[in-house]
Structure 1
Amino acid sequence: MRSSENMNITIVAPYCSLPSEPHFNRFWYLAELLSQSHDVLLITSNFKHYDKSFRRPEDAESASQGRLKVMLLEESGYGKNVSLDRVKSHHVFVKHFEQWLNNCRPGEQDVVFSAYPLIATNLLLGEHKARLGYKLIIDVQDVWPESFSSVMPFLKKIPHNLLPFSSRANRAYRYADALVAVSQTYLDRAKEANPNVPGEVVYIGADFPKLDAAPAKDFGDDKTRFFYLGTLSYSYDVETVCKGVRKLLDDGENVELHIMGGGPDLDRLKQYACDGIKF
């Protein structure tokens, strides 16, 4: 392994956003930060999860800068987040990722920082780790298969270690030389399988200097305003929030809910739109 002052670092993040795209992303932030001192390869998909469209090869070229290079791996794409097409698309991505790994030579990477999920990419990284000689850091963004219960509620009644794919998840976690997670709950889950490696919670953050520089808005009244910024889907129970605000309004409370986001539940949630609930 090279000196810690000059390493080859690979970041594997299938759902990463690129600079020309509207979503802030921790993996791009990390890639830019690390490329100030190291050679960084960011591997992501040619398919954009958030708007279901495809990137062009020149998008990778324009995003690459200095010591930071971007590689796009093909997948077939999907229209719905919960669908067989998504399973197929992930399979295509994983096959291309496996081909790339097979062509790597020992010593080309010092550290691989990999998003979880996908399970399969992390299993492949673990299987190739000894041959290629890198340290593997897994960043747990979501807990598969446990999070499938948001789509199939009956899974909540099954102990997580008995869920389908749980043994594969545990094997992926055990390959890590260090663990990162977006919440303590997710880190605890990964550490169940791999308790003796360093672990750190790094919450999904924001550009705080930019937030601090934004002027405060004074609405000039005593109304309490709630703001939701995020995806409108099965993972987040925004409907109950809408019902709660409706009840507060019916009780005469001076409140207002602002919903900023999109997703498959947007049209259904718009039935709650009124003077006190704005989209």
Structure 2
Amino acid sequence: MNIWIVGVGEPLPIDGENTRLRRVGNLAKYISETKDEVHWFSTSFDHYKKKQRVEQDKTVELNSNFFLHVAKVSGYKKNISFARILHHQDAAKQIKKLMEQENKPDVILAGNTPIEVVSMVVEYGKQNNVPVVIDIRDLWPEVFKEVFPNYMNVLVNPYVAWNKHKLRKTFSNATSLIGLSEGFLNYALAISKRDKNSLDTVIPIGYPNYEYNYTSSEFNKLWGNYDITTDDFIVSFTGNFGRQFSFEEIMEASNKLKYEKKIKFVLCGTGENFDKIKELAPDNVIFPGWIEKDMITSLLQYSKIGVAPYINSVNYQLNTPNKFGEYLSASLPILVSVEGEMKNRLIENSCGNSYQNGEELSNLIKGYFDNSEKLTIQSENARALFLSDFNGDIVSETIKRQLEKVAFKQID
């Protein structure tokens, strides 16, 4: 089978051998190893590092079944900007050119954003009689209502309504919709104004089943410059300092716990709020900045808790984002800042909890710190939940089977 994946904004295999791939990258790699042919269409601009990967269109043969097509596009400096809108328009135009140079596939998988790209993909599928599956990974454009202050609603609400109107045509013409959760799938169905059919389904975000086998000396070599050791009680965050996260509660909790010298907070990533948060942090908070796979994996292996400080958005209330599976894979109980899907899964499986303020967060952390038996049991529960529901290989196989089902119109 010849499978195309159109996905922009994620790290690419050409970004370096220590790069952590995400949903699309792990799926493409998995499919290629099952001997089906996969073509991944992406762009030259690195969303995370805000720099160009290549200076012209490039196709890379990663293995005999895996081809990465990189379209040269314009970049942007700010995530919310007119330059990014132009980037999305350029991405749709340039990716289409690369697609037209290849033999048509059996099926195409595309993310639901950016709208310019996914609309182009659905139109290509319609013109070439190729089924298209849309992977609903966030509640765009609804999330814009939560990013901007209320006084901007006079501008934001019409923009959201206009984009929903454009999405309606795109979603309704897709062959299949995949939601990360039932809430996400229902959101897409509501926009498309159609009922769920047998080709629509829910498949969560998986995470690779990495081997966490770093020795203490290897950890110390990687992290020795950051004043943390394997004997510390490490509370970790691996993400970015963008608008989707709230760090006020972590700052309050870290201040309340600074008397416990063994408790260390390690907040990884960069972003627009990095400098502001760093200025507010006490000495027990460590900011390593942007780190790659070896440092992340070793950090999670020796951490005790993972914290997921999402803003209280419907986008996260109805979702189990990448960070959820990542922490579970490393056997970490998770403390999450929102009600909804994540909290429910943590409570049901006894591997974490939610908090609403810094005092609640500090009390939860102290509870694990003072009760090693509780920590051990919940760590085991976290790993069990990962293996049953979020193991990346199982998730990738589920998506692959869904694509086969759609390609051959195997309607139940």
Report the TM-score when normalising by structure 2.
Answer: 0.57
Aligned to 1:3: none
Query: 8 Å contact 1:11–1:113 — kept in the other structure?
Result: yes
- 2:63 is paired with a residue of what secondary structure? coil
Say which of 78, 85, 110 aligns to 2:106: 110
Q: What's the CA shift string for 1:203-222, capped at 9, x where partnerless?
A: 333222424x456999557x
CA distance in 1, matches of 2:263, 2:182: 32
Aligned to 1:147: 143
Query: 8 Å contact 2:2–2:38 — kept in the other structure?
Result: yes
Q: Does 1:128 align with 2:124?
A: yes
Aligned to 1:19: 13
Q: Does 1:257 align with 2:257?
A: no
CA distance in 2, matches of 1:205, 1:234: 23
Once the two structures are TM-superposed, the CA of residue 150 in structure 1 deviates from its matched residue by 3.8
Larger relative CO (CA 8 A, sep 6+): 1 or 2?
2
- Higher mean alpha-carbon deviation, 265-274 vs 155-164, is at 155-164
CA distance in 1, matches of 2:160, 2:239: 31
Say which of 249, 270, 277 aligns to 2:278: 270
CA distance in 2, matches of 1:68, 1:46: 18
Q: Using a 3 Å threshold, how does the CA distance of structure 1 residues 161 and 91 change in structure 2: closer, same or farther? A: closer
Instruction: Note the 1:169-188 alignment, pairs <5 A.
Output: 169-188=167-186
Q: Using a 3 Å threshold, how does the CA distance of structure 1 residues 80 and 144 change in structure 2: closer, same or farther? A: same
- 1:208 is paired with a residue of what secondary structure? coil
Q: CA RMSD in A?
A: 3.2
Query: 8 Å contact 1:160–1:166 — kept in the other structure?
Result: no
CA distance in 1, matches of 2:86, 2:97: 17
Counterpart AA for 1:56: V
Q: Using a 3 Å threshold, how does the CA distance of structure 1 residues 63 and 57 change in structure 2: closer, same or farther? A: farther
- Higher mean alpha-carbon deviation, 122-131 vs 261-270, is at 122-131
- 1:210 is paired with a residue of what secondary structure? coil
Q: Does 1:137 align with 2:133?
A: yes
Q: Using a 3 Å threshold, how does the CA distance of structure 1 residues 68 and 191 change in structure 2: closer, same or farther? A: same
Q: Does 1:9 align with 2:6?
A: no
Q: What's the CA shift string for 1:16-71, capped at 9, x where partnerless?
A: 32224223222121112222322211100011111111122699555532121111
Q: Using a 3 Å threshold, how does the CA distance of structure 1 residues 60 and 23 change in structure 2: closer, same or farther? A: farther
Q: Using a 3 Å threshold, how does the CA distance of structure 1 residues 229 and 120 change in structure 2: closer, same or farther? A: same
Q: Does 1:50 align with 2:48?
A: yes
Q: Does 1:196 align with 2:192?
A: no
Query: 8 Å contact 1:111–1:135 — kept in the other structure?
Result: yes
- Higher mean alpha-carbon deviation, 21-30 vs 41-50, is at 21-30
- Higher mean alpha-carbon deviation, 160-169 vs 191-200, is at 160-169
Counterpart AA for 1:234: R
Q: Which structure has greater helix proportion?
A: 2
Q: Using a 3 Å threshold, how does the CA distance of structure 1 residues 263 and 116 change in structure 2: closer, same or farther? A: same
Q: Does 1:205 align with 2:214?
A: no
Q: Using a 3 Å threshold, how does the CA distance of structure 1 residues 199 and 231 change in structure 2: closer, same or farther? A: farther
CA distance in 2, matches of 1:99, 1:167: 26
- 1:31 is paired with a residue of what secondary structure? helix
Extract unaligned runs of 5+ from structure 2: 220-228, 288-412
Say which of 151, 162, 165 aligns to 1:164: 162
Q: What's the CA shift string for 1:80-124, capped at 9, x where partnerless?
A: 1111111111111112234455x468x721100111201122222
Once the two structures are TM-superposed, the CA of residue 229 in structure 1 deviates from its matched residue by 0.8
* Count of aligned pairs: 267
Aligned to 1:66: 64
CA distance in 2, matches of 1:159, 1:80: 21
Report the TM-score when normalising by structure 1.
Answer: 0.81
Extract unaligned runs of 5+ from structure 1: 1-6
Counterpart AA for 2:203: V
- 2:21 is paired with a residue of what secondary structure? coil
Counterpart AA for 2:189: K
